[in-house]
Amino acid sequence: FFFFKQKTAYEIKECDWSSDVCSSDLFSSPVLFLMISLLIRRRNIEQRRNITLMKKKRATKAAKKRLSKAKTYLKEENTDMFYDETLKALWGYISDKLSMPVSELSRDSIKQLFEMRNIDNKIPDQFFSLLDHCEFARYAPSSGAKGMETIYKDSLAIISDLEHELK
C-alpha cells in the first residue's frame, strides 16, 4: 500500500466562534427575528380580540363595499335595491364607528354622540338630509337615475367626511 502523508501544506486553523463579530450576528439575528415576530403576532391577536376596535377599523371598508354594491344597482337602474343598500351602508357605518348596535341607533342618539365628539354641525345635517332623501326615494320613487347618482356621490362624501371627523 501507499504511504499516506500525515502533514500537508495546508493547516486547519481553529477559529474562536464566540469572539468573531460576524458569527455572533449570524447566530443572534434569527433569535431576534423570532422575538420580534412573536411580539407582532401577540399584538395582532390582542387587537383581534377587541371586537369594537376591529369594527371601527373596518367600518369604512364595509361601507364602501356596500356602496360599490349600490353602484352596481345604480348601473342596473334597480332603485329599490340601490336605496336599500345605500341606507344599510350609512346606518352600518355609523353603527360601527360609534360602537352602537343598529337597533339602538336613532337620530337623537346620533346627534348626541356627534355633539359629544364635537363634530361640526354641518356634517350631521348633511347626513340626516341624505338619510331623508334615501328614505323618501325608497318609499316614494320619483327622482330617477340622476337623483340616484347624486345620492351615491353624497354618501361617499359624507362617509369620507365622517371618517376624518371621527378619528
Instruction: Read off the pLDDT of residues 145-161 as tens digits, 9 standing for 90 and up.
Output: 558 888 899 999 988 88
Place of cell 356634517: 123
Structure confidence by residue, pLDDT tens digits, 75-123: 998 888 888 999 999 998 888 888 888 888 888 888 888 888 888 888 8
The whole-number average pLDDT for the span 54-75 is 85
**Would you state the pLDDT for residue 69?**
92
Mean pLDDT, the chain, rounded, equals 80
Residue 40 has pLDDT above 90, yes or no: yes
Residue 55 has pLDDT above 90, yes or no: no
What does the DSSP assignment read for 35-82? HHHHHHHHHHHHHHH-HHHHHHHHHHHHHHHHHHHHHHHHHHT-HHHH
Rg value, the chain, Cα: 31
| 123 contacts: CB under 8 Å, gap ≥ 6 | 114, 158, 161, 162, 165
The answer to whether the Cα torsion of 47, 53, 57, 59 is positive or negative is positive
Nearest to 138 by CA among 77, 87, 70: 87
The whole-number average pLDDT for the span 12-30 is 62
Cβ atoms of 129 and 71 within 8 Å: the answer is: no
Q: What percent of the chain clears pLDDT 90, i.e. is strictly above it?
A: 14
| 6 contacts: CB under 8 Å, gap ≥ 6 | none
The answer to whether the Cα torsion of 132, 133, 135, 139 is positive or negative is positive
Residue 46 has pLDDT above 70, yes or no: yes
Q: pTM value?
A: 0.66
Q: What percent of the chain clears pLDDT 70, i.e. is strictly above it?
A: 80
What does the DSSP assignment read for 70-114? HHHHHHHT-HHHHHHHHHHHHHHHHHHHHT--GGG--HHHHHHHH
Residue 37 has pLDDT above 90, yes or no: yes
**CA dist., res. 28 & res. 26, Å (int):** 6
Structure confidence by residue, pLDDT tens digits, 120-138: 888 888 989 998 888 888 7
**Would you state the pLDDT for residue 24?**
63
Please give the single-letter amino acid code of residue 94.
Answer: I
